[in-house]
Each structure stands twice: as structure tokens, then as C-alpha cells.
Amino acid sequence: MKKFNLLVSVIMLFAVLLSACKSNEPTPIVGEKTIENLKAAITGESNASVLYAIFSQKAKELGLNNIATMFAATSEAEKIHVNAHQAVLKELGVNNFVPVIENHIANNDMAKNLEDAIAGETYEFTEMYPKFIEVATAENIPDAVRSFERAMKAEMGHAKHYQAVLEIFQSLGHDATVSKTWYICPTCGDLEFAITVTRCPICGVNTENFIEFKNDELTPLEETIENLKAAITGESNASAMYAVFSQKAKELGLHNIATMFAATSEAEKIHVDAHQMVLKALGVGNFEPVIENHIADNDMVKNLEDAIAGETYEFTVMYPKFIEVATAANIPDAVRSFERAMKAEMSHAEHYQAVLEILQSTGNDSTVPGTWYICPTCGDLEFVITLARCPICGVNTGNFIVFN
Ligand SMILES: [Fe+2]
Ligand SMILES: [Fe+2]
Ligand SMILES: [Fe+2]
Ligand SMILES: [Fe+2]
């Protein structure tokens, strides 16, 4: 009996010890898995931020300033994700988690970097965040769910823009048609290149508070695109103006001058078309120039002087500058289009000057040639064909367009 009592006592003691052991086990921490996931997300986002800063720097080195601007924006966007996750972590009692930042290197091929960036974002929004959201939901931590959800949606936007930029870069080999301005939401890291709504599509913040990243630096290529647009605008307006001058000359009974301006009005259209083709080859489709309202003076001398001033500006100031920039940008098609137009403008100005002198000395245009020719390729103006080939572009003069 004594033995039995001892046995019972020993068993009871074990039971007590066992239960004591059990109660000494750490009680499960609230949101334990979510805390680990927040740390993982902070590490991922911090590394993405550093990676994009390096991609931005590399893009700048490669002269891809618009892509550099985009990556500068997303580098900041990822910091916003880091800070949002850190705030949730703090609420869960973990202060100042310090993530490990790896050593990131950018590829010299920007397409490769964009592909890497797309892969990273895609992993985050298709695998990582959906899993983290599921766990945080199960652990009932709404602030973590929200932080993960916002980051996930922002990453989808990043990937979408990277993909579009990659396609532009792959098809054109440059980034001149990539947006120069990028915006990020200060709350959720949403990325946009144009603000079209008043509230952030992800988190609802007023888009007036979006942070702007702007590339103010024009590469020679971008400058050439702007110059082509400027040249198209100038030439289109010159064409419209000469049509108006031609009409006015007709009204004034100056039929030979009317014919000459009809010819140069067409010549300027040839310059427009040539520049548009170069612009199109650079990936810029359908540039629509603004045509001003042109009025002719009743004094034809005044109109000729205006025409000479316009041509002189083009061949002494505008085109030499445009050629210089296009040469630096290494765009031979733009250089050639500018050079041909420049030389054609010299021929226009030369003839206008001769006609002006006739009009001033005789008061009429009866000794002005009644037939004018323009080169269909470069807009060269002649009143007599003495050569087999266009002196500017070499086209067979048999193809010159006749005005009489
Ligand atoms: Fe992110
Ligand atoms: Fe991202
Ligand atoms: Fe022209
Ligand atoms: Fe001209």
C-alpha cells in the first residue's frame, strides 16, 4: 500500500511537472508569421529600391535619361513600401528592423535590367504578396493586409510601365519617346507618367500630392526630335504663308510672282514631308504642327522682304543649329533632311532677292520669269533648268515640278 501511494505520488509529481513544463512554453506571439513576412517584404523592397537606383544611374550613363527618371521614381516608390511595412511591424512590437542589402549591379544592356525589374515585380505581385496577404488575413492583422495589398497593386503598376518602356526601347533602341515625367503616390508608391484622375487609383490619396520626377535634360536625340517638330512647324507655316502671298500677288496682277510663291509653297511642303519621315523613323508618329493665321501685305515688296527674312533665319540660324545637334546625336537621316532644306532655303532667298530688286526697280513683275521649277525631293527652286541633276540632292531634273 505504501509502495502504491509512493507510485501515485511520483505519477502526480510527473503530471504537475509536465503541466508546468507546458505552461513554460512561450505563448504564441500575435501575428508571428506576419512579422516574418513583413521583415521579408521590407528586405525585398529595400533591395528593389537600391537596385532601381543603380538602374537609374546606369540608364543615365547610357544616355537613357527618361528611363533613368522612371527608375529614380520607382526607387523612391519602393522606399514608401519599406516605410509602410516598418510602421506595421512597429505596431506589432518590432522596432527598427534592419534589412540586409545585397550588392546590386546593373547590366550594360538596359533591356536586360528592365527584364530583371519586371521579373522581380512579377514575383512580388503574383506570389509573394498574395501569400503574405493570405497569412495576415488568417492572423487577423488588417494593417498588414492593407500594407501588403497596396504594395502588391503598386508593383503591378511598376511592372506594367516597365513592360511598355521595354517594348519602346527594344523597337527603337532609344528612350526618346518614353515619358520625361513620372509621378509616384507618396502613400502607396503607385507609378504614373500622367495624372488623369484626382485620386490615387490604389489608395485614394489626392493626386496633387504625388511626387514628380522630371527629366529636364534633353539628349541630342531628344533635342533632334524637338528640332524636327520645330522645323516641320516652321516649314508648314512657310508653305501656308507663301500660298497666301501667291494669292495676294495674283490679286495685285503680279502673276509671275504668284507663280513663284505657288512653287515655293509646294517646296516647303516637300521639306515638311521629308522631316516627318525622319520623325516617323525615330518612333514619333503623326506630328501635327500648329498653323498660324497668315495675312499678306498689300505691298508685295513687304511680303518679299518677310519671305527673305524667314528664309535667311532658317538657313543662317535654325538649320545650322539643328544640323549640329543631329550630328552629335548621330542621326544621319535628320542631318541630311536639315541640310537639304537649308540649301533649298538659300535658293529660295536668292530668287526672292532677285525678284524683289526687279519689283523695286520696275514697279512690276513683267521681267520676272513666268515658269518656275522645284525639285520634288529637296524643294530646290529654279526658273531655268541648266543641269541634268538637282544641285542640292542629285535628283534627275527631268522630275522637277513645273509651275507656270
Ligand atoms: Fe515595392
Ligand atoms: Fe515596385
Ligand atoms: Fe523649307
Ligand atoms: Fe523656303
What architecture is domain 221-403?
Up-down Bundle (1.20)
The residues placing their C-beta within 5 Å of ligand 2, an ion, are 121, 155, 158
Residue 26 one-letter amino acid? P
**pLDDT computed for residue 4 by the predictor:** 52
Instruction: Give 117 Cα–ligand 2 centroid separation in angstroms.
Output: 8
Distance between CA atoms of 77 and 188, rounded to whole angstroms?
8
pLDDT grade, residue 20 (50/70/90)?
very low
| Torsional class of 373: left (φ above 0), alpha (ψ -120 to 50), beta (otherwise) | beta
Instruction: Give 177 Cα–ligand 4 centroid separation in angstroms.
Output: 29
Distance between CA atoms of 366 and 368, rounded to whole angstroms?
5
Instruction: Give 3 Cα–ligand 4 centroid separation in angstroms.
Output: 123
**pLDDT computed for residue 102 by the predictor:** 96
Write out pLDDT tens, residues 170-198. 999 999 999 999 999 999 999 999 999 99
Q: Which ligand is nearest to the CA of 150?
A: 1
Q: What is the mean pLDDT of the chain?
A: 93
Q: What is the mean pLDDT of residues 48-54?
A: 98
Instruction: Give 247 Cα–ligand 1 centroid separation in angstroms.
Output: 63
Strand, helix or coil for residue 373: strand
**pLDDT computed for residue 216 by the predictor:** 86
**pLDDT computed for residue 147 by the predictor:** 98
Residues whose CB falls within 8 Å of the CB of residue 354, separated by 6 or more in sequence, listed in order: none
pLDDT of residue 3 exceeding 80: no
Distance between CA atoms of 369 and 104, rounded to whole angstroms?
71
Instruction: Give 179 Cα–ligand 2 centroid separation in angstroms.
Output: 18
How many other CB atoms are found less than 10 A from the CB of residue 128? Answer: 20
Instruction: Give 190 Cα–ligand 2 centroid separation in angstroms.
Output: 9
How many other CB atoms are found less than 10 A from the CB of residue 163? Answer: 15
Query: For the ranges 1-5, 149-153, 257-261, 299-303, which has the lowest average pLDDT?
Result: 1-5
What is the percent of the chain with per-residue pLDDT over 90, rounded to a whole number? 90
> Domain 32-176, CATH 1.10.510.10 — does that match?
no
pTM above 0.85, yes or no: no
pLDDT of residue 300 exceeding 60: yes
Instruction: Give 388 Cα–ligand 4 centroid separation in angstroms.
Output: 22
Max distance between CA atoms of the chain, in angstroms, equals 150
Instruction: Give 151 Cα–ligand 1 centroid separation in angstroms.
Output: 5
**C-beta of residue 188 within 8 angstroms of C-beta of residue 196:** no
**Among residues 49, 32, 210, which one has the least CA distance to residue 124?**
49
Distance between CA atoms of 122 and 160, rounded to whole angstroms?
10
Instruction: Give 156 Cα–ligand 1 centroid separation in angstroms.
Output: 10
pLDDT grade, residue 240 (50/70/90)?
very high
Instruction: Give 257 Cα–ligand 4 centroid separation in angstroms.
Output: 15
Write out pLDDT tens, residues 320-352. 999 999 999 999 999 999 999 999 999 999 999
Secondary structure element (H or E) that encloses residue 61, with its range:
helix 32-61
Do 32-176 and 221-403 have matching folds? yes
Instruction: Give 40 Cα–ligand 1 centroid separation in angstroms.
Output: 12
Instruction: Give 217 Cα–ligand 3 centroid separation in angstroms.
Output: 29
pLDDT grade, residue 27 (50/70/90)?
low
Distance of CA 96 to the CA centre of its chain: 38
pLDDT of residue 87 exceeding 90: yes
For the chain, what are the domain ranges?
A: 32-176, 221-403
pLDDT grade, residue 279 (50/70/90)?
very high
**pLDDT computed for residue 8 by the predictor:** 52
